[in-house]
């Protein structure tokens, strides 16, 4: 499939200044768990970055995210995503939004298996979906990090790769705030040898 056709199916992917490659976003308003956590003081989602700034300033960005969300129903979705990702060394799933259901997660697994030279990273707060698979089922080139729900909460216990958010920037392992909000040469989010990545609160 040609990239032009792929973009007509899924919409285009995202290129953020922070990331070393392309990423994929869905509307944060449609997060299953996040939409509930937004109402909980002290939760990570209570100050969700994907519900402000450019994500809400430009109508075209929100519209593009809903195009991506609706495209999940298209039988050509896997092939279209593969066509756009296959030349990427690193790829991030959901710089906004989250997995919608088990079928969505299994489709991502298919994309990862068809792009073996790409390292994929997917953060999620959808514990109920993730608990329907085992770590052994996850393609070797994909790392799924189960994110803790509350600021300053420790990592979850049921999954081997996790992420947390800390209110003290000095205790965060993510170096981005110290290097112009960029990953730079750091790739710990994609590294299975790093069990937990901690981020400073936005």
Q: What is the mean pLDDT of residues 91-113?
A: 96
Domain-embedded: residue 101: yes
Q: What is the mean pLDDT of residues 151-173?
A: 89
Q: Would you place residue 30 in the very low, low, confident or very high pLDDT band (cuts 50, 70, 90)? A: confident
Instruction: Kindly report the average pLDDT of the chain as a whole number.
Output: 90
pTM above 0.85, yes or no: yes
Residues 119 and 86 sit within 8 Å (Cβ to Cβ):
no
Task: Give me the residues paired with residue 122 across strands.
Answer: 144
Domain-embedded: residue 61: yes
Domain-embedded: residue 27: yes
Range of the domain at 11: 3-146
Domain-embedded: residue 136: yes
Domain-embedded: residue 183: no
User: What pLDDT digit, counting tens, does each position of 39-56 carry?
Assistant: 888 888 877 765 666 566
Domain-embedded: residue 167: no
Domain-embedded: residue 188: no
Torsion of CA 164, 165, 168, 172, to 10 degrees: 50
Domain-embedded: residue 201: no
E runs forming strands in 23-150: 23-25, 90-96, 119-124, 142-147
User: How many separate domains does the chain show?
Assistant: 1
User: What pLDDT digit, counting tens, does each position of 107-153 carry?
Assistant: 999 999 999 999 999 999 999 999 999 999 999 999 999 999 999 99
């Amino acid at each position: 499939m040609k990239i032009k056709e792929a973009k007509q199916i899924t919409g285009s992917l995202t290129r953020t200044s922070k990331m070393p490659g392309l990423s994929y976003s869905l509307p944060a308003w449609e997060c299953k768990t996040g939409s509930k956590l937004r109402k909980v003081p002290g939760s990570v989602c209570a100050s969700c970055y994907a519900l402000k700034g450019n994500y809400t300033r430009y109508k075209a960005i929100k519209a593009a995210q809903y195009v991506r969300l609706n495209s999940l129903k298209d039988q050509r979705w896997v092939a279209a995503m593969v066509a756009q990702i296959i030349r990427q060394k690193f790829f991030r799933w959901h710089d906004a939004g989250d997995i919608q259901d088990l079928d969505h997660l299994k489709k991502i697994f298919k994309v990862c298996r068809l792009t073996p030279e790409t390292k994929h990273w997917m953060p999620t707060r959808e514990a109920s979906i993730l608990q329907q698979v085992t770590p052994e089922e996850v393609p070797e080139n994909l790392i799924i990090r189960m994110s803790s729900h509350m600021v300053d909460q420790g990592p979850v216990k049921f999954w081997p790769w996790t992420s947390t958010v800390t209110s003290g920037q000095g205790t965060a392992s993510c170096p981005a705030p110290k290097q112009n909000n960029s990953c730079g040469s750091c790739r710990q989010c994609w590294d299975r040898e790093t069990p937990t990545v901690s981020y400073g609160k936005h």
